[in-house]
Chain A
């Protein structure tokens, strides 16, 4: 039987969750807290196996509470239950020490599976959110650089485009017509296999071409 601490500022939801979780044979709700201060106190007193934590608390951010919860109950696993479905929150919650991330709109279907997974020592993240995280973790392909194959002018133009200059500004700087600038840019980007300005900026960042900023 694993003990759970519910941290959420919404009393009705806490009641609903307690009803749901207590109905499971292997889970029971040991305590509830509606803000982070009470949560830390409860965690220290109850030493629960799992803390179900909402990120939007009344007086303080749930994210900020994670480290103190970890200190108060070192062996407790922390599962974030939140409305926020942005990767940014996931990244920060995991960095702060959470073990799982479940969206409230999936509370009915996934919550219990997530709780069990986290209790088993696994990491649970809502499937819709994992893709981007994984993409960031995958090793970047070292891009073969055709940069050297570009002409001097093409390189000059591309660096200025990547630095955010307008076509008119580049034309003035390099003493070319805007049309010629456009030609150099198109040709250079084709040679590099880049389809857009943002791709070029990313390329320039990867190849350290924006050093003067």
Chain B
């Protein structure tokens, strides 16, 4: 349990740290590592050197203080015994002159009286008792801490203690200065090393990240569908291998894309052919129904009428009347069938007339209120394939509205501008989420999209559950249209 908790704790910490480290870029990472190392080395070396130096200098000063004190004691013996205090004073002054770091020197006689000292005016209180030595000792040293810094105070007995004690104090101020100077030097060295480290790190970063950034640019281009770019191989290392792999991938993707585009083009050619063939076939059948079958039935109708007119038998008249009724029904059905297959109006009078007719049929058939507006689409004809596509799209869209939308009002707008034509089919029905456009219920919309795409058009769907549906289908129109008025073609 406990181990598990610790592990969890650890992993949380690790991830927190990685979040911070991982967030910065490679340049910052490398610079951070280099600067950290240089700073660590610098600080460690400085501390080490300072400690070592301090110890060495302290020992050195101690040894010198002992040597100087013994020298003073030896040379002061006679002077003390002769009570030549003036010479004694000169001896102390000479000693001070020869040793610049000698802070003070004085001599105490066997009674404990200070008989000579190097202090110009006033002997510091307490200094006399700060250190002492017994007659049998070689010397005794004490590290005094004064307001002028540390001082090695050494006491040496004169003439085995019988002529008093010689005391000298060697200042350690020089030690502090030396250490400060060395530390400063080390700091300068550290900073220079850091500067060189930064330069080296920047160079390294540049070498490392340049190919990576280039690959990033390339990957973006590939994501945007541009497979033509290739990465330059900078070095023969792992990144070089990555670059090679990337280029190979781009090449393969480009190949796949080319094949896909070819297949897509073939597919849309096939679909265009199929749609054209279908429309042609429908047109032919519709014409056939109109021109031959219906004409024959009309002849039959007329013949039956003459038959009825020429005979007086009420029984026969009734029978002929029934037959005429049947023929009339068949004619009507054939007519409806022909129009559903492909309305002749579309070919003879154009899109506007055909749409008007279709919308009127839809109104009666479905009971739906359908408004229609076709600004800019009067007598001018559009390209026949485009008219067919727009007609079929409106047909499909209205069929969808009637079947699925549960709408009360629908509206069809076909707007022709100089450079494009846009059909908008809108309803106030239940709507749907356009993002979920895949199921079987939306096959109609896919058909519309397909038909639009074949003529370089596109479909935009705006809908939301409960807010109705609007389909926008837009086709580009090639050149500015020629003025073509009153160019009707009725019949074949």
Contact = CB atoms under 8 A, between A and B. Distances in A.
A68 to B, nearest CB: 15
A103 to B, nearest CB: 9
B303 interface: yes
A15 B466 CA distance: 61
B200 interface: no
A83 B335 CA distance: 8
A107 B294 CA distance: 12
B417 A197 contact: no
Interface stretch (B104-112, B259-267, B407-415): B407-415
A111 B324 CA distance: 14
B345 A86 contact: yes
B306 A19 contact: yes
Interface in A157-185: 163-164, 166-168, 182
A14 to B, nearest CB: 8
A211 B491 CA distance: 37
Interface residues of A, number: 51
Contacts of B301: 16, 104-105, 107-108
B305 A15 contact: no
A57 interface: yes
B373 A201 contact: yes
B433 interface: no
Contacts of B310: 23
Interface string A173-206: 0000000001000000000000111110110110
A61 B369 contact: no
A84 B290 CA distance: 9
A105 B295 contact: no
Nearest to B303: A16
Nearest to A165: B472
B318 to A, nearest CB: 15
Interface string B414-448: 01011000101010100000000000000000000
A61 B349 CA distance: 12
B134 interface: no
B492 A56 contact: yes
B349 A56 contact: no
A100 interface: no
A107 B298 contact: yes
Given A56-B291, A199-B371, A201-B413, A213 B376 contact: yes
Nearest to A201: B373
B384 interface: no
Q: For B302, B304, B324, B348, which residue has the most chain A Cβ atoms within 10 angstroms?
A: B302
A105 B491 contact: no
B5 to A, nearest CB: 49
Contact of B295 (A13, A163, A210): A13
Contacts of A60: 491
27 contacts: A10-B296, A16-B298, A55-B490, A56-B290, A60-B491, A61-B348, A61-B488, A61-B490, A62-B491, A63-B490, A64-B488, A83-B295, A84-B344, A86-B353, A88-B349, A88-B356, A104-B298, A104-B301, A108-B301, A164-B415, A166-B472, A167-B462, A196-B409, A198-B370, A201-B375, A201-B413, A201-B415
Interface of B: 290-292, 294-296, 298-306, 309-310, 324, 328, 331-332, 335, 343-345, 348-349, 353, 356-357, 360, 369-373, 375-376, 409-413, 415, 417-418, 422, 424, 426, 428, 460, 462, 467, 470, 472, 488-492
